[in-house]
A and B are shown apart, each in its own frame.
Chain A
Amino acid sequence: MTETVAPPQPKVVEPGQPQKGWAGQNVPRKEDKRLVQGEGVFFDDIKRHEMGYVHFVRSPYAHARIKSVDVSKALDVPGVYGTLTGDEVAILTDPFFELSVPPGAHMKDYALAVGKARFAGEPVAAVVASSRELARDASELVEVEYEPLEPLVDARVAQEGDAPILHDEAGSNVVWDGTFDWGDYDAAAAEADHVVKIKELHFDRFSSTPLECSGCLIEYNKGTGQWTMYCNHQMPGVGAIWMAPALRVGLDKLRFVTQDIGGAFGNKICLHPYFVACCLLARKLNRAVQWTEWRTDQHTANAHGNERWFQDIEVPVKADGTMLGFKVRATDDCGAFPRYEPLGCIIWAQVTPGCYRWRNIRVDFTQVTTNKSPVSPNRGYSRMQHLWLTERIIDIVASELGLDPVEVRKRNYVKHDEFPYETPNGCIYDSGDYARCLDIALELIDYPSIEQKRRDAESRGRLLGVGIGSTLDSGTNNFGQSMILNPDLQFSGNNEVATVKLDIFGEIVVTLGTVPQGQGHETTASQVVADILGCSPDDINVRPGHDSYWNSHAGFSGTYASQFAVTGLGAVKGAADMLAGEMKKLASVVLGCSADDIELAEGQARMKANPEAALPFMALGAILNANNAGLPEDLGVTLNCRYVYRPPFEKPDLERKYGNLTLTYATQIHAAVVEVDPDTGVYEIVDYAAVDDCGKRIHPQIVEGQVHGATAQALGAATHETFPYDADGNLLTPNFYDYHVPHALDMPPMKNGFIESESPFTPLGAKGMGEGGGAGIHAICAALQDALRARGKPVVTDSCNPYHRVWALLQEPEASRAGVEVVSR
């Protein structure tokens, strides 16, 4: 199904085979044995004696006042252990803290609906029983009296005078709004030969769908007042910051434990309302409780990706196709509660000009609540939406002005000799070669043959189109960007931690601050350590998962936002370097030489000049840990090293909304070829190339796996995956019947290419790349627009284009064109 072009795949290294330079090799993944043998441990595998199962009673209404909740009939059922209602939650907890300035700051968000339900599926009460089935049966006996209110489902009308208000305390549906103005847009518009105007584009609502839904087993230790949560929360540090104040306890009362997580993608960042409800139940009932989310719950009431409207777009263009920037009014729909928001109101600015040299950009950004599922950072978070805008701009402008989509990209791309490149808002693109990546992608789809293929398709009654998606995956956040939204937030920079130690029998043990969800952290960490300590990855034990009591972790620890290769491995490298130094020092004392005379190789510390004088790691571990009498008092060696990696960031300039928001920028240039059946609107992706550049690839196979996954995510979003609501606020695709995720058969034959532009800013030259930038969405939108060109030149204005939408474009191309206008000088 996949093929890879030059440079060729590094060869697979057999286990135990000595190898110089483990980083860059496809060593077997340490995680896979237990996973493929069914021996992984996911939260739902963990059980406790006499535990209870939690089932949530959910609002059937998108917007309703809760007049009463009566749990008495449920409590009467034998085997029901207890219940929790919004009234109890309002007494026992404080609202979760909000990141926004007003009006968002005034929105009140609790573990269960208090007073009002604001989206269909919102938890209103919870029932705990001796089995899942019983908990669900009993939950149907909970009587909730609702007074339905008018729902708000269209973000575009959220600010109109007669729009229903979700959060009365805020007095507005606006969470956050602000203007971003860089360069001089008005001067650019005056200088331009053409201004292309686009009335409205819509980035649709969808989300990733991890195989494992959310959940936790929570037990309360009455003696210490501490909760232990065996769970799949992917960002425990931030989860604790939300949960602890709400529960009115210190952070140390919350212990998060994860081992294996069946995918997260951002869906598992905003689990705090569910976890707090379970904490209250565990304490109230003095019993371990488990909550396992079901698929429909996940679709309706966990977290969607941000939906965004782009309106009144204007793009100044010179006669030669040089674009000078753009301006836009963006309205982001975050659903019923802000939760991780309004961070999406700034995250997009990491990639403000996309891949382009655009210098004059003005964005009026507003985020509003609606009566839909809350959002959370879904893979490609906020940048994907914005990059879809930049790519739509490129292809709509090219189409309207008769420019070649390849040439216009190359003309406007940041050039390879301009890196590090500072964007108009102060972000530093570290390295890359977009034009070269594009050339490789075009070569993979045999671009010169496209016109011939187009004619072939025509002869078969099909419309062929080709499209490009150029995106960036900005990784390693500078959390200082949150202060641009709210100067009172005391967040900036970033950090991650790792420990590496040498034990008595010579075992090398690594713990991470991160929370892996399938990314292969155990494997890549072992490669980095093996290179530094001069041994095999097989000799390295990387503890799986995360335990906030026992794993050392830092303020921003976690696995999110494309950063492990930089922050996680940066910390691993730092700790391994420290340990290597200590091992050399200890060996030098034992062997009576200088530490500089010692090298670490083949599992030994030995004298460079005399390799026969060697101490195996086991000897070093044993001497220091168990046989240390007589060692110098000032030795300063613990063989247990902790390192915190802190990327080099400054605080942003809050007035100008200016500064470096992320450390690395991985490139994705994808090209898609589609064939449309004009009689039905059905289309097929007949060729696909994904070219990625994430700097140094520590484990190429893992990188390719991420590329495949991000591509499937994007193709799903481009073709079928959408979360539409009806006028009453009911989700119309609440399960896999109607929400179609690409299957193997839906995936096109995929061709992968890559280059490695090492980052000058990171410890290993690597860049985070796990999210991708949604390049597939942009490529499909562009390819469809190209295919339909001969049928009245319709404009693709939505990110998701199921067959019915393509059919509509074929039927009424003029309707889609009505919003596009070119004003020429």
Chain B
Amino acid sequence: MLLREVEYARPASVRDAVRLLSEHDGARALAGGQTLINVMKSRAASPDVLVDLQDLAELKAIDLAADGTLTVGSMVTYTELVESVEARARPILGDVCATIADVQVRNRGTIGGNVCSNDPTNHLPPLMVALGATMTIVGTDGERDVPAEDFFIGVYMTAAGAGELVTKIVIPAGKGDGFAAVTIGKDGTCIVSAAASLDGGAPRIAIGCVDAVPVRVEVSSTAADAVREAVRAANLDPPGDVHASSGYRRHLAEVLAARAVEQAEQRRN
């Protein structure tokens, strides 16, 4: 791995981490490294300072409140989510995390890293939108909560700006969730993904890989035809690439949204 020269810091507190991130223009937070190390390797990004969050025990907690609200620290790994008793309150989380890449990556990759990198092919951004999650962002000016729908701004861009850190993700109670994806090989990169949640009224559907950010689709019914019609009506204009044409992605979005809703319905019942 031929990285550019980079400074490395390993803060002991969130406060120090935020300070380091805000002090240096070219600072980047390093969570598990699933994305960042790879873009550094290819030199697509070359931060001046790497702020490694791995010592921040306060970001590694999973808490389940009495009302079923789940709070997941941003440095919780996929494996920890898969194995967490508390996280079974929202079973879809562990189920999806268990299909991300391979064991080694799951042992390192984190929920915070997955949402903050916001690669359009990542599994968790659409899931977080569908689940109605809320991200807590800490900066030098204090703390604020941003709903997932507003959190994802563009490719590799989120509401967590320079000098800021996502510390936790709050997920409301629920079990009527579904997720469907077509991936490049088993547990590979998503070609298109769709997440759905039926908790809290009308289905919340979010589709990944079809735009810079997860696309919310509004629909009142859970019938497959209605869901597909709603996706069609969203007039998606996904990018084409070596794995899928724009048209194929548009089609997969329909099918997968319907399947995610169907799975959500089965789980709810």
Contacts and interface: CB of A to CB of B under 8 A. Distances in A.
B186 A746 contact: yes
Interface string B180-191: 001011111101
15 contacts: A55-B2, A133-B2, A137-B4, A719-B185, A722-B242, A732-B242, A737-B38, A738-B189, A740-B185, A740-B188, A743-B187, A745-B185, A803-B182, A803-B244, A804-B248
B102 interface: yes
Interface in A693-735: 719-720, 722, 724, 732-733, 735
A132 B187 CA distance: 33
Contacts of B255: 679-680
A745 B2 contact: no
A360 B2 CA distance: 56
B182 A680 contact: yes
A807 interface: yes
Contacts of B189: 737-738
A130 to B, nearest CB: 14
A133 B2 CA distance: 5
B202 interface: no
The 9 closest A-B pairs by CB, nearest first: A745-B186, A136-B2, A732-B242, A740-B185, A740-B184, A746-B185, A679-B255, A746-B186, A804-B248
Given A720-B185, A745-B186, A745-B187, 11 more contacts: A133-B2, A294-B2, A296-B42, A680-B255, A733-B242, A735-B42, A738-B189, A738-B243, A740-B185, A803-B191, A803-B243
Contacts of A680: 182, 252, 255-256
A807 B2 CA distance: 39
A137 B39 CA distance: 16
Contacts of B243: 738, 802-804
Interface string B234-269: 000000011111001001100110000000000000
A804 B244 contact: yes
Given A680-B255, A803-B191, A804-B248, A743 B2 contact: no
Contacts of A132: 2
Max count, chain A CB within 10 A of own CB: residue among B2, B184, B191, B255: B2
B121 to A, nearest CB: 9
Interface of B: 2-5, 38, 42, 102, 182, 184-189, 191, 241-245, 248, 251-252, 255-256
Interface string A787-819: 000000000000000111001100000000000
B44 to A, nearest CB: 11
B204 to A, nearest CB: 23
A803 B244 CA distance: 8
Nearest to A681: B248
Contacts of A804: 243-245, 248
A746 B188 CA distance: 10
Nearest to A133: B2
A249 interface: no
A60 interface: no
A742 B184 CA distance: 10
B182 to A, nearest CB: 6
A136 B5 CA distance: 11
A132 B1 CA distance: 9
Contacts of B242: 722, 724, 732-733, 738
Contacts of B241: 732
Contact of A133 (B5, B42, B244): B5
A733 B184 CA distance: 12
A682 interface: yes
A572 B13 CA distance: 66
Interface of A: 55, 132-133, 136-137, 294, 296, 679-682, 719-720, 722, 724, 732-733, 735, 737-738, 740, 742-743, 745-746, 802-804, 807-808
Contacts of B191: 803
Contacts of B186: 743, 745-746
A719 B243 CA distance: 11
Nearest to B188: A740
A682 B184 contact: no
A808 B38 CA distance: 33
Nearest to B254: A679
Contacts of A807: 248, 251
A132 B3 CA distance: 10
A804 B187 CA distance: 17
A296 B189 CA distance: 18
A737 B35 CA distance: 11
B84 to A, nearest CB: 23
Contacts of B248: 681, 804, 807-808
Nearest to A732: B242
B58 to A, nearest CB: 33
Max count, chain A CB within 10 A of own CB: residue among B3, B187, B188, B241: B188
A204 to B, nearest CB: 12
A802 B189 CA distance: 14
A366 to B, nearest CB: 27
Contact of A743 (B38, B185, B256): B185
A55 B2 CA distance: 10
A726 to B, nearest CB: 9
B245 A743 contact: no
Contacts of A724: 242
Nearest to A808: B248
A136 to B, nearest CB: 4
Given A804-B244, A804-B245, A742 B3 contact: no
A722 B241 CA distance: 13
A456 B243 CA distance: 30
B117 to A, nearest CB: 14
B42 to A, nearest CB: 7
A572 to B, nearest CB: 40
Nearest to A734: B42
Contact of B185 (A294, A733, A735, A742): A742
A735 B244 CA distance: 17
A743 B102 contact: yes
A720 B188 CA distance: 11
B152 to A, nearest CB: 21
Nearest to A55: B2
A720 B255 CA distance: 22
A720 B2 contact: no
A556 to B, nearest CB: 38
B109 to A, nearest CB: 15
A202 to B, nearest CB: 16
A294 to B, nearest CB: 7
Contacts of B2: 55, 132-133, 136, 294
A746 B182 CA distance: 14
A746 B186 CA distance: 6
A810 B98 CA distance: 31
Contacts of B102: 743
B3 A133 contact: yes
Nearest to A737: B189
B245 A720 contact: no
Max count, chain A CB within 10 A of own CB: residue among B102, B182, B255: B182
Contacts of B42: 296, 735
A746 B256 CA distance: 21
Contacts of B185: 719-720, 740, 742-743, 745-746
B163 to A, nearest CB: 28
A737 B186 CA distance: 13
A49 B184 CA distance: 44
Contacts of A722: 242
A55 B187 CA distance: 34
Contacts of B5: 133, 137
A682 B185 CA distance: 10
A133 B41 CA distance: 11
A737 B187 CA distance: 12
Contacts of B256: 680
Contacts of A296: 42
Nearest to A131: B2
A55 B251 CA distance: 44
B81 to A, nearest CB: 20
Contacts of B3: 133
A562 to B, nearest CB: 28
